[in-house]
């Protein structure tokens, strides 16, 4: 969508425009990055595909009474969102070992974790999103203990919902990243940022084929096809 709105911020995958003091537009781009910007590229139709997937998932979360920033999908690349002050923490929720957790402990990717594991990273590209503990979070004043408790509670509820949504379409939710913010509309903590194959690891239930951004990160090929496959399985179109 061509827009005359003021650009507030351009991130790696989205551009945020000011709609009014309480609402923004998020425009989903085809740009892809990995390893905190070290690897750059573009994935055909990613903006439209991720917007379709993310809007669908956020509608489900809104209907399940998880407070989120999502208001509605406006067009193929754009969402209307509540403006938030982002909490500078990336929350990683893991159901199986993979990625940095597998590397850290030398445990094979795909090994089941009995209860979902939550980890936190400081949201800082310059520092490479370092992993942090709750003690670091409170020392750095990133949020207070009550807010972190709520973040954990919402994250586990989101995990339960997303796991079952993906399971229904033959996908295993290996892990994912969430962000939260304080809404300018409600003044409450809300789930924010995107949920898509950029931010989730999704494996085919039967073959364990990777259908997410690891195809881009690891040069596995078939990147657009993987994103399209996730979208098609969810019954969505661009």
Q: Does 233 bind ligand ASP (CB under 6 A)?
A: no
Which positions from 202 through 221 interact with ligand ASP, judged by CB under 6 A? Answer: 213, 217
Rounded to a whole number of angstroms, the minimum distance from the CB of residue 109 to ligand TMP is: 9
Count of residues that bind ligand ASP according to CB under 6 A: 8
Which positions from 192 through 221 interact with ligand TMP, judged by CB under 6 A? Answer: 199-201
Site string for ligand ASP, 34-63 (x = CB under 6 A): xxxx--------------------------
Q: Pairing between strand 39-42 and 131-132?
A: unpaired
Can you tell me which of 24, 78, 82, 129 binds ligand TMP, judged by CB under 6 A?
Answer: 129
Which contacts qualify for 182-188: CB closer than 8 Å, 24 or more apart?
A: 182/84, 182/85, 182/87, 183/67, 183/69, 183/82, 183/83, 183/84, 184/21, 184/22, 184/82, 184/83, 184/84, 184/85, 185/22, 185/23, 185/82, 185/83, 186/67, 186/82, 188/67
Which positions from 157 through 196 interact with ligand TMP, judged by CB under 6 A? Answer: 175-177
Q: Does 11 bind ligand TMP (CB under 6 A)?
A: no
- Nearer to ligand ASP by C-beta: 70 or 176? 176
113 near 96, Cβ under 8 Å?
Answer: yes
Which positions from 40 through 99 interact with ligand TMP, judged by CB under 6 A? Answer: 90, 92, 98-99
d(C-alpha 138, C-alpha 94), whole Å: 23
Stretch of 32-40, 41-49, 113-121, 146-154 lying at the interface with ligand ASP (CB under 6 A)? 32-40
Rounded to a whole number of angstroms, the minimum distance from the CB of residue 86 to ligand ASP is: 14
52 CB-contact burial (10 Å; exposed 0-12 / middle 13-18 / buried 19+):
buried
d(C-alpha 178, C-alpha 193), whole Å: 7
- By a kind-dependent CB cut-off of 5 to 8 A, residue 172 interacts, out of ligand ASP, ligand TMP, none, with none
Chain contacts with ligand ASP (rule: CB under 6 A) = 12, 33-37, 213, 217
């Amino acid at each position: 969508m061509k827009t005359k709105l003021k650009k507030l911020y351009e991130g790696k995958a989205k551009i945020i425009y000011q709609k009014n003091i309480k609402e923004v537009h998020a425009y989903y781009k085809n740009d892809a990055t990995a390893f905190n910007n070290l690897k750059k590229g573009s994935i055909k139709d990613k903006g439209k595909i991720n917007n379709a997937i993310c809007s669908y998932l956020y509608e489900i979360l809104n209907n399940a009474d998880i407070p989120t920033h999502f208001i509605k999908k406006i067009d193929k690349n754009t969402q209307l969102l509540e403006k938030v002050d982002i909490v500078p923490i990336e929350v990683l929720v893991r159901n199986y070992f993979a990625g940095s957790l597998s590397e850290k402990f030398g445990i094979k990717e795909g090994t089941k974790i009995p209860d979902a594991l939550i980890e936190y990273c400081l949201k800082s590209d310059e520092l490479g999103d370092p992993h942090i503990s709750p003690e670091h979070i409170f020392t750095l004043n990133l949020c207070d203990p009550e807010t972190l408790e709520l973040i954990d509670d919402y994250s586990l509820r989101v995990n339960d919902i997303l796991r079952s949504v993906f399971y229904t379409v033959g996908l295993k939710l290996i892990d994912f990243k969430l962000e939260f913010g304080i809404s300018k509309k409600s003044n409450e903590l809300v789930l924010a940022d995107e949920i898509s194959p950029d931010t989730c690891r999704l494996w085919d239930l039967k073959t364990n084929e990777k259908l997410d951004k690891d195809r881009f990160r690891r040069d596995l090929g078939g990147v657009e096809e993987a994103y399209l496959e996730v979208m098609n399985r969810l019954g969505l179109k661009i």
